Structure 1
Amino acid sequence: MRLQQMNSKKRVYLAAPLFNEMELNYNKSMAKKLSQYFDVFLPQEDGLLLRNLIKAGLPHERAERMVFDADIQAMKESDMLIAILNGAHIDEGVAFELGFSHATGKRCIGFKTDIRQALPTGNNPMIQQSCERIFDSEETLFKWLTKNFKQAEIFSTDTTD
């Protein structure tokens, strides 16, 4: 009988705006860093993009439904959501993803390095209260992840020798 070490990573949904090259590149970079700790679902790479479906000839309404259904399924299958909250106004898709994930009992973490905000008091309360924590630097986010999500070791019995 032999013990075999198996990796078990939590699944994280990275909710982020994805409408220009800068956002797309930043999201890829963040997903790569997060993959040290998690299996990352990045909608721009692992999901469907509306612009690509329409370009491929799908009717707009059908393409929207496909994107919506794929992202809902990915959020349901995730253990946690990390929301990029940068901008004076939080991206409406990110706000929806955050709200949906919070309502379904997922851990929700915010990340915001942008000092712009619409309300003089800070984030909209619906955003603020949906997040377990909101980090303002990659350093603090990744320190917290390292402390709270060290790679779990799961041992299974392998009877083939």
Structure 2
Amino acid sequence: MKAYLANGLFSIGDRYVNELLARELRAAIPEIELYVPQENDAINDKNAYADSLAIAAADLASLKESDVLIAVIDGVEIDSGVAAEIGAFSMLNRPIVALFSDVRQQGRTNAKKIDALVADGTENQFIYRNLFVVGLIKQNGVIASTVEEVVEAVLKISK
């Protein structure tokens, strides 16, 4: 099975999440061929140079070869590169497993939070994800809230 891991890769937090996901996926599915863009020094060694066309060509080639896309959709907004990768991959009609771990998903049944939001839209205790991107994920995939759930979902796809 070939898989592509999409996430930001410029902050230490994103790189750690990518390393964690890659390690857990490779441990659970030893036969997985996992493309992690931050591991591709030909385009992501920031001491070197790769232009936009080289980056797009490398990542699109890996997307086209992949059986599944694993996409991290955390952050203030979905990373623009991740959103583009989700859009491109969705055109292949292959499964997408997204990780959305934001803790603001908790307490969705808390009536005080709902009442506060209804009374004053600026009292939003929740988080928004772009619904077009969410819809692309849900067409052929799932949104998980933990690394373990991501690994479990990819395991199911690999069988």
- Asked if 1:101 is matched to 2:95, the reply is no
Match for 1:105: what amino acid?
A: N
> TM-score, normalization: structure 1?
0.72
**Which runs of 5 or more residues in structure 2 are unaligned?**
106-123
Asked whether the 8 Å contact 1:47–1:71 carries over to 2, the reply is no
Asked whether the 8 Å contact 2:97–2:154 carries over to 1, the reply is no
Going from structure 1 to structure 2, the CA distance change for 1:148 and 1:79 (only over 3 Å counts) comes to closer
Q: How many pairs were matched up?
A: 134
Identify the match of residue 133 of structure 2 among 121, 124, 127: 127
Secondary structure of 1:104 counterpart? coil
Counting aligned pairs with the same residue, the percent is 28
- Asked if 1:70 is matched to 2:58, the reply is yes
In 1, Cα distance between equivalents of 2:41 and 2:103: 29
The alignment's C-alpha RMSD in Å is: 2.4
Asked whether the 8 Å contact 1:95–1:127 carries over to 2, the reply is yes
Q: Equivalent residue for 2:80?
A: 92
Match for 1:15: what amino acid?
A: A
Q: Equivalent residue for 1:158?
A: none
When you count strand as a share of all residues, which structure comes out higher?
Answer: 1
When you count helix as a share of all residues, which structure comes out higher?
Answer: 2
Larger Rg: 1
Going from structure 1 to structure 2, the CA distance change for 1:89 and 1:33 (only over 3 Å counts) comes to same
Identify the match of residue 19 of structure 2 among 28, 39, 64: 28
- 1:43-62 aligned at under 5 Å gives the runs 43-46=37-40, 48-50=42-44, 52=46, 55-56=47-48, 58=49
**Which runs of 5 or more residues in structure 1 are unaligned?**
1-9, 151-161
